[in-house]
Amino acid sequence: MDLIEQFRKEWVVIKEAPLSLLIIAALLLIAMYALFRANLERKNDLIKTLSDQLAVANAQTKAPRMDTGGPSTKPELKVLMTGANIFIPNAPDMRRHLTGLAIDVRVWNTAKPSIATDWGLSVIAGGRIVKAQLTRIPDELRVSGTINSTVIHASQDLSMKTSKEPVGNTVQEGTLLFYVNLDKATVVSASTQLELSVKDENGAASTARQSVGDWLQR
């Protein structure tokens, strides 16, 4: 616009000098071409920038997303009771009040490895839910029960193993020793249910339930 305005101002002089008109006209054309070329280059640069940004956005959309966390990375313990020795303790002071349960257990993890803590057992019998007490297995303990009779050792204590070594997707097996304040006849009743629970390092609980009657029918 400045060049056109300048051209108008100089028009009087240009009319008196045709040669000068041609020169100015040529210069004006050159200036307008330079301006047009500069605008065109700026637009081309803008188009290229937008194209590059679009290509980057498409690449990010198609690229596989990294797993930054979520339910699949949290521990997910699984437990299974495979058998039990239900017995009357040998100690006279325990014999009148308690029943022992040496339960064979398998535990594994379907996600992030974790230690297993807070093992618990509930005995559901006669409409009551009675919590059993987890007890560390001694060096050697002979258990003689209705279902099975055997000797268990401290090395079989699953609660000790899993509190020190994280449980992964490989099944860990062992024995858990509980005592419950119920008579043996009640515990071995076919209608009695056992509910075993365990927590991972985040405090999330997993449970398994077993009917004593199913074991007695084997």
Q: What is the pLDDT of residue 122?
A: 97
For 53-106, the pLDDT digits (tens) are 565 455 444 434 434 444 457 899 999 999 999 998 887 666 567 999 999 999
What structural domains does the chain harbor? 2-62 (no CATH), 73-216 (2.60.40)
Q: What is the pLDDT of residue 69?
A: 45
Question: CB of 150 within 8 A of CB of 140?
Answer: no
Question: CB of 132 within 8 A of CB of 72?
Answer: no
Whether 18 shows a pLDDT value over 50: the answer reads yes
pLDDT: which is higher, 61 or 43: 43
pLDDT: which is higher, 149 or 174: 174
E-only strand ranges, 10-98:
77-87
User: What is d(CA 60, CA 132) in angstroms, rounded to the nearest whole number?
Assistant: 55
Q: What is the pLDDT of residue 73?
A: 72
pLDDT: which is higher, 48 or 111: 111
| pLDDT band at residue 179 using 50, 70 and 90 as cut-offs | very high
For 124-151, the pLDDT digits (tens) are 998 899 999 999 999 999 887 655 678 9
Q: What is the pLDDT of residue 66?
A: 39
Q: What is the pLDDT of residue 148?
A: 61
Q: 1-5, 86-90, 190-194: which has the highest mean pLDDT?
A: 190-194
CA distances 47 to 35, 56, 118, 169, Å, are 19, 14, 63, 53
Q: What is the mean pLDDT of residues 113-126?
A: 94
User: For the chain, what is the radius of gyration of the CA atoms?
Assistant: 42
Q: What percent of the chain has pLDDT over 90?
A: 52
Q: What is the mean pLDDT of residues 8-20?
A: 58
pLDDT: which is higher, 37 or 59: 37
User: What is d(CA 170, CA 76) in angstroms, rounded to the nearest whole number?
Assistant: 13
Q: What is the pLDDT of residue 175?
A: 96
